[in-house]
Amino acid sequence: MEKEKMLQDLEYDFICDFIRIRKENHLTQQALADMSGVVREKIAKIEANLNSPQLNSLIKVLEPIGYTVKIVPITKED
């Protein structure tokens, strides 16, 4: 159960960061969709945690706002 909770927390943190970055760039979901070529509905589903997007979709959505997906070590809290 602890591993499942950790994975849920990582996913939640990613979604929160994704939404924060979009809003910091003063972009609506539609504007980000227009910039990235990914349909707005897919962005909405990512933000609502309704599906797990494919890696290429994440890269397409993040690239226009200066971000990408990167593998980093998981830091464990004591």
Q: Is the distance from CB of 29 to CB of 44 less than 8 angstroms?
A: yes
* Residue pLDDT, tens place only, 57-73: 999 999 999 999 999 99
- Minimal CA–CA distance to 66: which of 23, 7, 25, 33? 25
The residue segments making up the domain with residue 19 are: 2-65
Which amino acid, 9? Answer: D
* Residue pLDDT, tens place only, 1-53: 798 999 999 999 999 999 999 999 999 999 999 999 999 999 999 999 998 88
- 30 domain-assigned: yes
- 10 domain-assigned: yes
- 75 domain-assigned: no
Say which CATH number the domain at 19 has.
1.10.260.40
- 77 domain-assigned: no
